[in-house]
Amino acid sequence: MKTLKGPAIFLSQFIDRQAPFNSLEGLAQWASALGYKAVQIPCNHPAIFDLEQASTSQSYCDDVTGLLANYGLAVSELSTHLEGQLIAVHPAHDSGFDGFAPPAVRGNAGKRTAWAIETLKRAARASANLGLSAHATFSGSLAWPYLYPWPPHNAQLFSEAFAELARRWKPILDEFDGHGVDVCYEIHPGEDLHDGVTFERFLASVNNHPRCNILFDPSHLYLQHIDYLQFIDIYHPRIKAFHVKDAEYLPNGRSGVYGGYQSWIDRAGRFRSPGDGQIDFKGIFSKLAQYDYAGWAVLEWECCLKDSETGAREGAEFIQRHIIPVADRAFDDFAAQHPPQTSIRKQLGLEKGE
Per-residue pLDDT reduced to its tens digit, 137-167: 999 999 999 999 888 889 999 999 999 999 9
Contacts for 2 with CB less than 8 Å, ≥ 6 apart: 289, 292, 293, 294, 326
Nearest Cα to Cα of residue 166 among 219, 88, 282: 88
Residues 37-80 have pLDDT tens digits of 999 999 999 999 999 999 999 999 999 999 999 999 999 999 99
pLDDT-derived band at 301 (thresholds 50, 70, 90) equals very high
- Helix (H) or strand (E) segment spanning residue 58: helix 58-69
The predicted structure's pLDDT at residue 327: 82
Q: With pLDDT > 70 as the criterion, what percentage of the chain qualifies?
A: 99
Nearest Cα to Cα of residue 4 among 173, 194, 216: 216
Q: Beta strands of 236-314 (E only): which ranges?
A: 239-244, 246-249, 269-272, 296-299
Nearest Cα to Cα of residue 39 among 66, 82, 62, 6: 6
Q: Which domains does the chain have, with CATH numbers?
A: 5-347 (3.20.20.150)
Whether 333 has a pLDDT exceeding 90, the answer reads no
Whether 275 has a pLDDT exceeding 90, the answer reads yes
Judged by phi (left if over 0) then psi (alpha if -120 to 50, else beta), residue 262 lies in beta
| SS3 call for 243 | strand
Whether 252 has a pLDDT exceeding 70, the answer reads yes
- Helix (H) or strand (E) segment spanning residue 42: strand 38-42
Cis preceding linkage at 151, omega within 30? yes
Whether 316 has a pLDDT exceeding 80, the answer reads yes
Burial class (CB in 10 A: 0-12, 13-18, 19+), 172: buried
How far is C-alpha 242 from the chain's CA centre? Answer: 5
CA distance 310 to 221: 25
pLDDT-derived band at 341 (thresholds 50, 70, 90) equals confident
- Helices marked H in 86-209 — which ranges? 94-98, 109-129, 155-178, 196-205
- Helix (H) or strand (E) segment spanning residue 214: strand 212-216
pLDDT-derived band at 234 (thresholds 50, 70, 90) equals very high
- Helices marked H in 183-335 — which ranges? 196-205, 218-222, 228-235, 281-290, 308-322
Can you name the residues that pair with 298 across neighbouring β-strands?
Answer: 8, 243
CA distance 224 to 188: 10
| SS3 call for 25 | helix
Whether 353 has a pLDDT exceeding 60, the answer reads no
Can you name the residues that pair with 248 across neighbouring β-strands?
Answer: 270
Whether 236 has a pLDDT exceeding 90, the answer reads yes
The predicted structure's pLDDT at residue 229: 98
